[in-house]
Amino acid sequence: MTTPVLQAWRVSKSFGAERAVDQVSLSVQAGTATCILGPSGAGKSTFIRCLNFLERPEDGYVFIDGDPLGFDRRGDVFHEISSRRLARQRQKVGMVFQQFNLFEHMSAIDNVIEAPCGVRGVRRADAIEKGMELLRKVGLAHKAHSLPRELSGGQQQRVAIARALAMEPRLLLCDEPTSALDPEMVHEVLNVLGELVAEGMTMIAVTHEVGFAREVAHRFVFMERGAVIEEGPSSNLSVDGVREDRTRSFLEKVL
Ligand code: ADP
């Protein structure tokens, strides 16, 4: 077995007395897409945010390409690394949010080139060339100079995907990427994500779109009350295909 692109090992996170994520482990191989499903409040969002340290796990480790995120491993001992080195490590992980989180005062192309220019020091002309390629890929080259408020929700989310890709991440995390969209715009975003998966992008997505999970993703994880109840190949994602009663009763409600 090759080293997973991402491995979470017993990741836990509490808010006050509540354990939002309780010892969750996950392994994701290169070129695969994993969907995290589960009822509201299950800890899905907290868990995916732990995977790039938007939430710092209080326990457990996240390994990216075998390297522990936020730590230096010397033998069996883990030493915390500087925030600067952590920032560099985190560049390997792209993220797409429910609410897009674009810079409102910047055009689509400026949103896309902001991190490559600002963080990586890529020359502006080169970043624009690559950024335009990415906007073309998500079908929005013609909107390069529009501000977010001049774009539909679906278009804003596609710009956000292009922006995440601009840093050439090893892994793309998507936290309910279509939940804030009007129904008619959901498919345009799912189509873009589906194309990325078909091209071999490694992806983890929290989503309520069971159809997407079954047809596009390779694996699913079902979470409830901070824990993984079941995981398996996405082809099992049907009322008759899943193993656990709790997964089945969730699917019965949403399918
Ligand atoms: P899901 O994404 O499955 O809906 P979340 O990860 O958003 O679940 O939330 C899991 C639990 O953690 C919920 O009970 C939620 O209220 C709590 N929680 C999430 N984020 C915070 C926060 N920043 N502060 C306090 N509690 C939080």
pLDDT tens digit sequence for 225-243: 999 999 999 999 999 999 9
Nearest CA to ligand 1 atom 12: 20
Distance between CA 80 and CA 153 in Å, rounded?
39
For CA atoms 51, 52, 55, 56, the dihedral sign is positive
End-to-end CA distance of the chain: 34
pLDDT average, residue stretch 76-87: 93
Q: Where are the domains of the chain?
A: 101-168
The least confident of 30-34, 77-81, 103-107 is 77-81
Q: Whose CA is nearest to atom 19 of ligand 1?
A: 46
Find the 173 Cα to ligand 1 centroid distance in Å.
Answer: 17
> Can you tell me the mean pLDDT for 194-207?
98
DSSP 227: E
| Tens digit of each residue's pLDDT (9 = 90 or more) over 169-189 | 999 999 999 999 999 999 999
Q: What is the pLDDT of residue 66?
A: 95
Confidence of residue 195 (pLDDT cuts 50, 70, 90): very high
Distance from the alpha carbon of residue 21 to the mean position of ligand 1, in angstroms: 9
43-71 per-position pLDDT tens digit: 999 999 999 999 999 999 999 999 999 99
**C-alpha to C-alpha distance for 200 and 185, rounded to whole angstroms:** 24
CA of 251 from ligand 1 middle (Å) equals 21
Q: Is 179 in the pocket of ligand 1 (CB under 6 A)?
A: no
Residue 247 CA to ligand 1 center (angstroms) comes to 20
Q: Identify the bridge partners of residue 19 per DSSP, sorted by sequence position.
A: 14
Q: Contact 12/58 with Cβ under 8 angstroms?
A: yes
Q: Is the pLDDT confidence value at 255 over 90?
A: no
C-alpha angle 59-206-217 in degrees, rounded to nearest 5 = 115
With 80 as the cut, is the pLDDT of residue 202 above it? yes
Q: Which long-range contacts (CB under 8 A, 24 or more apart) does 20-26 make?
A: 20/46, 20/226, 21/46, 21/47, 21/50, 21/57, 21/226, 22/225, 22/226, 22/227, 23/59, 23/60, 23/227, 24/60, 24/223, 24/226, 24/227, 24/228, 25/60, 25/228, 26/204, 26/221, 26/228, 26/231
pLDDT tens, residue by residue, 4-15: 999 999 999 999
78 Cβ below 6 A of ligand 1: no
**109-160 residue pLDDT tens:** 999 999 999 999 999 999 999 999 999 999 999 999 999 999 999 999 999 9
Give percent of the chain above pLDDT 70.
100
Looking from the CA of residue 48, the nearest atom of ligand 1 is 6
Q: Which residues pair with 55 in a beta bridge?
A: none
Residue nearest to atom 10 of ligand 1 (CA): 43
- Ligand 1 centroid to 43 CA: how many Å? 6
Whether 76 shows a pLDDT value over 90: the answer reads no
